[in-house]
């Protein structure tokens, strides 16, 4: 999974138009994020041909996360042509299945 | 799914479930724990658990619950991620239906716990994950150098407020009364903390902000006065609701949805036990959850010996 940060976020996510871009916003202290991570890696193997998978460590890129209106973890965002197409805020993520459902909506 | 019959099927992987797993497995029982989200339960989202005996060093919730899980695993407890959608407790073998599969057990221990209650102000749901949070450990990082509020007056609210002072510029505790349920030690510590302010006898009526939180509308219950408190984050700790929807009509629940049990953690249905925060009890803490789990596992073992091994 491609690690994005303040230096490459614009190029890899906002200016990327080939496929939808999935970004996993996580943090060093977010246990739920870490428990979900193996499943997200699995989803990349399953759906990576049509969706680009990125992760963003908010602990190291706090300003960038807040600029993306992310203030809670875990948050998963799907970008299409650089625009936010769907946002899963923490309350909408009960298990990995919720993430997979969103991914499937963009796997076309 | 197979027709394998476990000795104990435990629903919920928090401290109660993990302790039950440990005790069951150490008795050489065949034990499965079903967890829908994150192992460790609410404790895994707690910053510091300095009230759990023996955990003064590295006492973060995630660290402690990870050790609990590892310990249960060492003795043979099995784990599965699944969300329970239905149960059938009518037969000798209990059936637990998940989204992914069906699980059979001679006994079931319900350890589903409780979930944070919403405070009920306008904008609370819309701004979740955008400034409104129920997990300080998860989200405190974002608020470095910013102003935040905490709603509530219990142990959780005060503990998490103290934790947030490590990050935030200021922490305002908003509480509907002028007395606290929290331990006196904690309240004193908060009162003396230079970064903590209090707004008492007051409730939050509205969270304001376009896409992210910008401030709270707070009403004083005594004077009726309404004021705006500019904060970037608000952490809600106003109590809990039991996670028992799936058991409605299957076992007895009290008027709030909690499960009444006897001293041996038995519910009103034979072979079905409950442990931890989900139970009707006076003190909901990691230590009492773990104790419940141990008792439930031993009671389940006794039940199995009488019912199945004669």
Confidence of residue B2 (pLDDT cuts 50, 70, 90): low
In angstroms, the CA A16 to CA A10 distance is: 8
Give this complex's ipTM: 0.77
Could you tell me which of A79, A76, A65 has the C-alpha nearest to residue A100? A76
Instruction: Kindly tell me the burial class for residue B296, based on how many C-beta atoms sit within 10 Å of its own C-beta (0-12, 13-18, 19 or more).
Output: buried
A10-37 pLDDT, tens digit per residue, is 999 999 999 999 999 999 888 889 889 9
Distances (CA, A) of B40 to A40, A77, B173, B286: 20, 26, 27, 10
Mean pLDDT of B120-145: 92
B131 CB neighbours in chain A (<8 A) are 71-72
Interface contact flag, B129 A31, Cβ < 8 Å: no
Interface contact flag, B138 A73, Cβ < 8 Å: yes
Residue B290 pLDDT exceeds 70: yes
Residue B176 pLDDT exceeds 90: yes
Residue B80 pLDDT exceeds 60: yes
Across the interface, of A31, A33, A75, the residue whose CB is closest to B129 is A75
Residue B304 pLDDT exceeds 90: yes
Question: Where in the sequence of chain B do the CATH 3.50.50.60 domains occur?
Answer: 5-115+240-307, 132-236
Taking CB atoms and an 8 Å cut-off, how many pairs form between chains A and B?
89
Nearest CA in chain A to B44: A31
CATH code of residue A16: 3.40.30.10
In angstroms, the CA B244 to CA B252 distance is: 10
B126-136 pLDDT, tens digit per residue, is 999 899 999 88
Residue B1 pLDDT exceeds 80: no
B8-52 pLDDT, tens digit per residue, is 999 999 999 999 999 999 999 999 999 998 899 989 888 778 888
Mean pLDDT of B108-123: 96
Below-50 pLDDT ranges, chain A: none
Could you tell me which of A90, A66, A87, A81 has the C-alpha nearest to residue A23? A87
Across the interface, of A58, A90, A97, the residue whose CB is closest to B128 is A90
Confidence of residue B245 (pLDDT cuts 50, 70, 90): very high
| CATH superfamily entry for domain B5-115+240-307 | FAD/NAD(P)-binding domain (3.50.50.60)
Mean pLDDT of B137-148: 91
Extract the runs of DSSP E, i.e. beta strands, from chain B. 5-11, 31-35, 78-81, 84-88, 94-98, 102-110, 114-116, 132-133, 147-151, 170-174, 196-199, 202-208, 215-220, 226-229, 233-236, 240-242, 272-274
Domains contained in chain A, number: 1
In angstroms, the CA A18 to CA A35 distance is: 30
Class level of CATH domain B132-236: alpha beta
Confidence of residue B258 (pLDDT cuts 50, 70, 90): very high
Q: What's residue A31's pLDDT?
A: 81
Across the interface, of B128, B144, B213, the residue whose CB is closest to A91 is B128
Confidence of residue B246 (pLDDT cuts 50, 70, 90): very high
Interface contact flag, A28 B144, Cβ < 8 Å: no
Mean pLDDT of B56-67: 86
Instruction: Show contacts of A63-69: CB within 8 Å, 24+ apart.
Output: A63/A6, A64/A5, A64/A6, A64/A9, A65/A25, A65/B142, A66/B142, A66/B212, A68/A25, A69/B130, A69/B211, A69/B212
In angstroms, the CA B110 to CA B265 distance is: 10
In angstroms, the CA B216 to CA B227 distance is: 8
What residues make up the domain containing A57? 2-106
Q: What's residue B38's pLDDT?
A: 85
Interface contact flag, B129 A91, Cβ < 8 Å: yes
Would you call B135 a catalytic residue per the annotation? yes
A62 CB neighbours in chain B (<8 A) are 141-142, 144
Q: What's residue B235's pLDDT?
A: 97
B194-237 pLDDT, tens digit per residue, is 999 999 999 999 999 988 999 999 999 999 999 999 999 999 99
Which residue has tokens 């057990």? B105
Residue B105 pLDDT exceeds 90: yes
* Set A33, A40, A56, A93: catalytic member: A33
User: Which one of B41, B142, B148, B213 makes the best mutation probe of the A interface by having the most chain A beta carbons within 10 Å?
Assistant: B142
Nearest CA in chain A to B131: A71
Could you tell me which of B243, B254, B270 has the C-alpha nearest to residue B83? B243
């Amino acid at each position: 999974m491609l690690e994005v940060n303040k230096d490459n976020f614009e190029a890899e996510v906002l200016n990327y138009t080939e496929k939808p871009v999935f970004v996993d916003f996580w943090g060093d202290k977010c246990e739920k994020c870490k428990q979900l991570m193996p499943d997200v890696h699995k989803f990349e193997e399953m759906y990576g041909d049509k969706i680009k998978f990125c992760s963003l460590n908010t602990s190291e890129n706090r300003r960038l996360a807040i600029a993306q209106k992310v203030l809670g973890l875990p948050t998963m965002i799907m970008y299409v042509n650089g625009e936010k197409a769907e946002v899963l805020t923490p309350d909408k993520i009960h298990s990995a299945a919720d993430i997979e459902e969103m991914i499937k909506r963009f796997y076309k | 799914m197979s027709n394998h019959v476990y000795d104990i099927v435990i629903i919920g992987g928090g401290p109660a479930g993990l302790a039950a797993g440990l005790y069951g497995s150490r008795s050489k029982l065949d034990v499965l724990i079903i967890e829908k989200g994150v192992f460790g339960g609410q404790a895994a989202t707690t910053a510091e658990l300095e009230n759990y005996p023996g955990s003064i060093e590295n006492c973060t919730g995630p660290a402690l619950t990870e050790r609990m899980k590892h310990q249960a695993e060492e003795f043979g407890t099995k784990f599965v991620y699944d969300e329970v959608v239905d149960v059938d407790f009518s037969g000798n073998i209990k059936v637990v239906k998940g989204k992914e599969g069906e699980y059979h057990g001679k006994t079931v221990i319900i350890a589903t716990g409780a979930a944070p209650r919403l405070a009920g102000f306008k904008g609370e749901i819309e701004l979740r994950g955008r400034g409104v949070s129920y997990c300080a450990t998860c989200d405190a990082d974002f608020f470095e150098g910013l102003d935040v509020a905490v709603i509530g007056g219990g142990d959780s609210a005060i503990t998490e407020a103290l934790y947030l002072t490590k990050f935030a510029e200021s922490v305002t505790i908003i509480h509907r009364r002028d007395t606290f349920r929290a331990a006196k030690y904690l309240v004193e510590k908060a009162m003396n903390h230079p970064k903590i302010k209090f707004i008492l006898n007051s409730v939050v009526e509205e969270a304001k902000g376009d896409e992210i939180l910008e401030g709270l509308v707070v009403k004083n219950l005594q004077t009726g006065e309404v004021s705006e408190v500019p904060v970037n984050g608000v952490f809600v700790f106003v109590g809990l609701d039991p996670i028992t929807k799936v058991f409605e009509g299957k076992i007895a629940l009290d008027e709030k949805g909690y499960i009444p049990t006897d001293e041996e953690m038995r519910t009103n249905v034979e072979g079905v036990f409950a442990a931890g925060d989900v139970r009707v009890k006076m003190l909901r803490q990691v230590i009492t959850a773990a104790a419940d789990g141990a008792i439930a596992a031993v009671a389940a073992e006794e039940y199995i010996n009488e019912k199945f091994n004669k």
